[in-house]
């Protein structure tokens, strides 16, 4: 069976696989990572084509022509909440050139399955993790089997919408059996199309595990895609992929895209020890939490870890408690100090507009930013994605400006606040994000932090990364 997997056209460089789906201010463009994993699974028994329209700047007409030439039997379209209406519209347009069954995947499929299937362009939605779901659909359609046996899907039959039982999330043992996503990148994509503002270029993103055991109310992936249990690949399997990447891809860094790679410190330290024993050289970075201790950081640095991406979120303990973050401001300060002492760079994430946000808590966040001085600062608008506890709280309290996630972005594809409090409006929230970023990056105080990054190992690569990020961010800042 021929399967066409599509990351649809939308805004230029739009990242559906990002946790905050938008057009990155500093030029960030994520790989279509979930589609790439599904591609590898499908290719075990079927012919698959992975198309990344935002990375290739393909128009709808270009996609339609490509689909018409490929003649798929099955079409898999990725979606995100801000792009859902666009993605359904593209599916309906593709009906003009293909008779393929159309599957929609991604977080909206888990949350809006019933509504999505009222559209003529979609035949099936695959809820939550969908690697093996789409393969089972392809297997079944090829063999004439009934879709009622496929778990994790909703679909239309004889004018009726049917919802099959949920599929169990993949176990650690099953994660080990999925083909390396890096092989899908090599076969279908150009690694030089992708850029992370905090990673050496070029880079690749992989998962070493899925799901997150923590309960942050605003985080969409664990609540709409991967679940709340952290399932991990074996250390041997992970090291094998790193070795394959080192030998087969011309990349400078691998980013571990797990929600929290450091959730299991015992596994992290085992990985670091065995990484060194193998004599691997490729650098890596990961998502972390502030409860990571200094000794673990030192072991990570010795094993070529370069940077930690960490969710600080707020300078207010009250807000951190409101969103069930499970950390304190004091822990954030200790983490920042330990990371610098261990020789690791820090990409610090903050969010403006979470429950309890006021002008006073915004000032607390600004103060904390200036104290911990992350090497790379990310400040996001608090977006209450449907299916999350944060969304439900905003809706119940009447704080949503709109109930339509397709309106979460402005005319250039950047975040805008759709949360408005009586004491802090949505316009003020969006404006505050820009003010904090401009005040941090466009001040003389950032110069020593930039030099700190350049005067390290691989300093020329750090300089190139900074130069590109700076150029893209300045373009964003001046347009605003």
Of 21-35, 43-57, 339-353, the least confident: 21-35
What are the two backbone dihedrals, phi and then psi, of residue 284, each rounded to the nearest 5 degrees?
-150, 165
Of 126-135, 294-303, 307-316, 457-466, the least confident: 457-466
Residue spans in the chain of domains classed CATH 3.40.50.280: 2-127+130-163
Average pLDDT, integer, range 349-376:
97
The answer to whether 208 and 238 have CB atoms below 8 angstroms apart is: yes
What are the two backbone dihedrals, phi and then psi, of residue 456, each rounded to the nearest 5 degrees?
-130, 180
Average pLDDT, integer, range 188-212:
96
**What is residue 141's predicted lDDT score, i.e. its pLDDT?**
92
User: What residue has token string 């002008």?
Assistant: 359
- Please provide the DSSP assignment of 267-293 as one string: HHHHHHHHHHHHT---EEEEEE-TT--
Residue 24 has pLDDT above 80, yes or no: no
Average pLDDT, integer, range 165-182:
96
CATH class as words, domain 172-479: alpha beta
HEC secondary structure over 193-260: HCECCCCCCCEEEECCEECCCCCCCCCHHHHHHHCCCCEECCHHHHHHHHHHHHHHCCCCEEEECCCC
**What is residue 470's predicted lDDT score, i.e. its pLDDT?**
87
The answer to whether 461 and 200 have CB atoms below 8 angstroms apart is: yes
Residue 250 has pLDDT above 70, yes or no: yes
Residue 480 has pLDDT above 70, yes or no: no
Residue spans in the chain of domains classed CATH 3.80.30.20: 172-479
Residues 6+ apart with CB under 8 A from 357: 314, 319, 382, 421, 424, 429
Residue 471 has pLDDT above 90, yes or no: no
For residue range 316-330, list pLDDT tens digits in order. 999 999 999 999 999
Show the tokens assigned to 180: 């390396």
Average pLDDT, the chain: 95
Residue 83 has pLDDT above 90, yes or no: yes
Show the tokens assigned to 138: 């392809």
CA dihedral sign, ordered 222, 227, 231, 237: negative
Residues 6+ apart with CB under 8 A from 250: 191, 202
Residue 478 has pLDDT above 80, yes or no: no
Average pLDDT, integer, range 236-258:
98
Give the fold, CATH level 3, of 2-127+130-163: Rossmann fold (3.40.50)
Beta strand 153-157 with 160-163 is: antiparallel
**Choice between 20 and 233, residue whose per-residue pLDDT is larger:** 233
Could you give the percent of the chain with pLDDT greater than 70? 100
Residue 26 has pLDDT above 90, yes or no: no
Residue 236 has pLDDT above 80, yes or no: yes
CA distances to 213, 293, 307, 317, 380 from 332, rounded to whole Å, are 19, 11, 16, 11, 18
The C-alpha atoms of residue 411 and residue 437 are separated, in whole angstroms, by 20
């Amino acid at each position: 069976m021929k399967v066409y997997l599509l990351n649809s056209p939308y805004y230029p460089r739009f990242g559906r696989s990002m946790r905050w789906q938008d057009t990155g201010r500093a030029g960030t463009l994520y790989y279509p990572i979930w589609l790439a994993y599904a591609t590898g699974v499908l290719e075990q028994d079927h012919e698959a084509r992975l198309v990344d329209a935002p990375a290739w700047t393909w128009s709808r007409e270009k996609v339609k022509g490509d689909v018409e030439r490929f003649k798929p039997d099955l079409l898999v379209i990725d979606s995100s909440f801000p792009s859902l209406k666009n993605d359904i519209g593209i599916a309906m347009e593709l009906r003009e050139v293909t008779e393929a069954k159309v599957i929609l995947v991604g977080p909206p499929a888990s949350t809006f399955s019933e509504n999505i299937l009222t559209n003529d362009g979609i035949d099936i939605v695959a809820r939550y993790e969908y690697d093996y779901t789409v393969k089972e659909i392809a297997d079944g359609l090829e063999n004439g089997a009934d879709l009622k046996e496929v778990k994790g899907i909703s679909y239309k039959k004889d004018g009726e919408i049917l919802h099959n039982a949920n599929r169990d999330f993949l176990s650690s043992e099953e994660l080990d059996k999925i083909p390396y996503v890096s092989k899908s990148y090599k076969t279908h994509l150009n690694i030089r199309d992708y850029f992370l503002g905090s990673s050496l270029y070029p880079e690749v993103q992989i998962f070493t595990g899925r799901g997150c055991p923590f309960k942050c109310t605003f985080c969409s992936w664990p609540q709409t895609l991967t679940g709340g249990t952290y399932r991990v690949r074996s250390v041997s399997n992970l090291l094998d992929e790193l070795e394959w990447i080192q030998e087969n891809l011309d990349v400078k860094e691998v980013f571990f895209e797990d929600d929290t790679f450091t959730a299991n410190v015992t596994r992290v330290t085992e990985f670091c020890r065995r990484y060194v024993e193998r004599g691997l050289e490729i650098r890596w970075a990961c998502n972390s939490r502030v409860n990571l201790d200094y000794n673990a950081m030192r072991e990570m640095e010795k094993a070529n870890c370069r940077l930690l991406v960490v969710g600080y979120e707020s300078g207010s303990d009250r807000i951190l408690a409101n969103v069930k973050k499970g950390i304190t401001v004091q822990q954030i300060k200790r983490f920042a100090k330990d990371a610098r002492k261990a020789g690791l760079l820090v990409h610090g994430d903050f969010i403006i507009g979470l429950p309890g946000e006021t002008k006073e808590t915004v000032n607390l966040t600004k103060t904390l930013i200036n104290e911990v001085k992350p090497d790379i600062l990310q400040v996001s608008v608090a977006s209450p994605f449907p299916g999350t506890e944060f969304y439900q709280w905003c809706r119940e309290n009447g704080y949503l400006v709109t109930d339509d996630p397709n309106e979460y972005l402005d005319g250039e594809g950047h975040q805008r606040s759709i949360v408005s409090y009586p004491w802090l409006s949505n316009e003020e929230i969006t404006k505050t994000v820009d003010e904090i970023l401009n005040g941090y990056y466009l001040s003389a105080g950032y110069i020593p932090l930039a030099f700190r990054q350049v005067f390290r190992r691989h300093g020329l690569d750090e300089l190139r990364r900074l130069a590109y990020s700076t150029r893209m961010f300045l373009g964003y800042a001046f347009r605003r």
